[in-house]
Amino acid sequence: MNNGPDPRELEPDTKPGSDAPCVRWRAIQARIARAAAEAGRDLASVRLLAVSKTFGPGAVRDIAACGQAEFGENYLQEALGKQAALAGLPLVWHFIGPIQSNKTRSIAENFAWVHSVDRLKVAERLSAQRPPGLPPLQLCIEVNVSGEASKGGVAAAELPALADAVAKLPGLQLRGLMAIPAPTPDTGAQRAAFRQVRELFDGLRVRGHALDTLSMGMSADLEAAILEGATIVRVGTALFGERNYLG
Ligand SMILES: *Cc1c(COP(=O)(O)O)cnc(C)c1O
């Protein structure tokens, strides 16, 4: 298995105003299709979440024009600005960044999905603050399978109790798990980490949770994730280009 095309090969080589964003978008869709075929999976069982953090509304609009509806954001204020600028488009917004308790209300009010819940207090606040007129917030619990203490995500040992508690909250619908394994160029190691997430997911299903979502795989490792059962891959760099963090 290889890692697919180097994203740098996909940088626009044509004039501004060309369809370069859609060339990149189609290249990602082709990587997803190849990996799904290799895994013997139905292409419709895997979808792309476009991770637009640090890119402005114009870049989101360009990718939306290719046929992309679902976008993932990590930083609340930045995301709210883009949502306001693009309010006329039928986009579905996913919050995928670390969640501070004092930001839950705005997340509950402005997103359809949250992938990064790793503690009950945050889930309880999101549930209580979800506006009654909206469908339940679609939720993934983030698990930490790399054992890095500095990273987000609940430890595997604490996952079943957290899932049981989250599943009872009325403002939320627990859909599955999200993970960001430690980056490695070794595709065997990538697959081993994603397999651990899949096994935790299978365990929760055996426990009685009706889950259908495994959010795992990014620009560099989406093939490995799809081979291990990912249903949402979250792709930023390969779609929008390199990010420039300003602080
Ligand atoms: C930034 C980010 C991504 C996208 O990563 P790329 O390597 O740029 O594709 C995916 N998931 C999360 C949670 C992120 O923060």
- The yes/no answer on whether domain 16-240 falls in CATH 3.30.365.10 is no
pLDDT 10s digit of each residue in the chain, 247 long? Answer: 444 444 444 344 444 445 699 999 999 999 999 999 999 999 999 999 999 999 999 999 999 999 999 999 999 999 999 999 999 999 999 999 999 999 999 999 999 999 999 999 999 999 999 999 999 999 999 999 987 767 899 999 999 999 999 999 999 999 999 999 999 999 999 999 999 999 999 999 999 999 999 999 999 999 999 999 999 999 999 999 999 865 3
Q: Give the closest residue (by CA) to ligand 1 atom 7.
A: 219
Instruction: List strand residue ranges (DSSP E) for the chain, in order.
Output: 47-51, 70-73, 92-95, 113-117, 137-144, 154-155, 172-179, 213-215, 232-235
Closest CA to 153 of 109, 192, 112, 196: 196
Q: Which residue, judged by its Cα, is nearest atom 6 of ligand 1?
A: 236
How far apart CA 103 and CA 99 sit, in angstroms, is 7
Q: Cα of 132 to ligand 1 centre, how many Å?
A: 31
Whole-number Å distance between alpha carbons of 19 and 138: 33
Which residues sit with their C-beta closer than 6 Å to ligand 1?
51, 53, 74, 96, 180, 218-220, 234-238
The encoded tokens of residue 117 equal: 């819940």
Task: Give me the residue label for tokens 């993970």.
Answer: 179
Q: What is the pTM of this model?
A: 0.92
